[in-house]
């Protein structure tokens, strides 16, 4: 089943690199009583993710904050070391975006947003989407039809829908 507007996000745990190495963070800790944006990409350092999707949320971060968004979270089925390096390479970390690893793809599969693209070596990856989540409930969901496009899931499109 694919997640949709009005659904409550399932419990999940993501990883990131903290001060003392890899650490886990619970999705409920990030969303409980908060308004957050979660966007997902097929892969760190992949062309559209790197040059379009992440930059769109860097550009719109302040405008989203003005609309009450407390945190912008980027998810990918990559390991936390890659996500840390990618956050640094894109400027997302310096901009205040949170990059988290759904390393096993468990969350991505549970919400029905997983896909495989064997010709380009992407297996068990996340479809490209962006969602506004309030207190764990999906209020807006913008999912791309093709993983190579970033039109309705970009920061500007989500901002325009608020």
Query: In this structure, is residue 54 part of a structural domain?
Result: yes
From the list 53, 103, 112, 98, the residue with the least C-alpha distance to 77 is 103
**Coil, strand or helix at 138:** strand
Query: In this structure, is residue 7 part of a structural domain?
Result: no
Query: In this structure, is residue 3 part of a structural domain?
Result: no
Total domain count for the chain? 1
Q: According to the model, what pLDDT value does residue 117 have?
A: 86
Q: According to the model, what pLDDT value does residue 72 have?
A: 98
Catalytic site residue from 49, 69, 73, 74: 49
Query: In this structure, is residue 97 part of a structural domain?
Result: yes
Query: In this structure, is residue 8 part of a structural domain?
Result: no
The CATH number given to whatever domain includes residue 150 is 3.40.30.10
Query: In this structure, is residue 4 part of a structural domain?
Result: no
Q: According to the model, what pLDDT value does residue 37 have?
A: 98
pLDDT in tens, the chain (162 residues): 699 999 999 999 999 999 999 999 999 999 999 999 999 999 999 989 899 999 999 999 999 999 999 999 999 999 999 999 999 999 999 999 999 999 999 999 999 999 888 888 888 899 999 999 999 999 999 999 887 899 999 999 999 999
d(CA 144, CA 147): 7
Look up the domain containing 118 and give its range.
13-161
From the list 86, 95, 96, the residue with the least C-alpha distance to 41 is 86
Between the two ends of the chain, the Cα-to-Cα distance in Å is: 26
Query: In this structure, is residue 26 part of a structural domain?
Result: yes
Q: Respond yes or no: is residue 150 known to be catalytic.
A: no
Query: In this structure, is residue 2 part of a structural domain?
Result: no
Q: According to the model, what pLDDT value does residue 122 have?
A: 80
């Amino acid at each position: 089943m694919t997640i949709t507007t009005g659904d409550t996000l399932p419990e999940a745990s993501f990883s990131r690199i903290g001060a003392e190495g890899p650490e886990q963070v619970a999705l409920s800790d990030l969303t409980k009583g908060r308004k957050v944006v979660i966007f997902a990409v097929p892969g760190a350092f992949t062309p559209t993710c790197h040059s379009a999707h992440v930059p769109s949320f860097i550009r719109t971060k302040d405008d989203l904050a003005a609309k009450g968004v407390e945190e912008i979270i980027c998810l990918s089925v990559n390991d936390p070391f890659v996500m840390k390096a990618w956050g640094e390479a894109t400027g997302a970390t310096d901009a205040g975006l949170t990059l988290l690893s759904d390393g096993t793809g468990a969350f991505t599969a549970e919400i029905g947003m997983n896909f495989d693209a064997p010709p380009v070596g992407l297996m068990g990856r996340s479809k490209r989407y962006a969602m506004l989540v309030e207190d764990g409930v999906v209020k807006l969901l913008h999912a791309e039809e093709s993983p190579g496009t970033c039109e309705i899931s970009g920061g500007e499109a989500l901002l325009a829908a608020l």
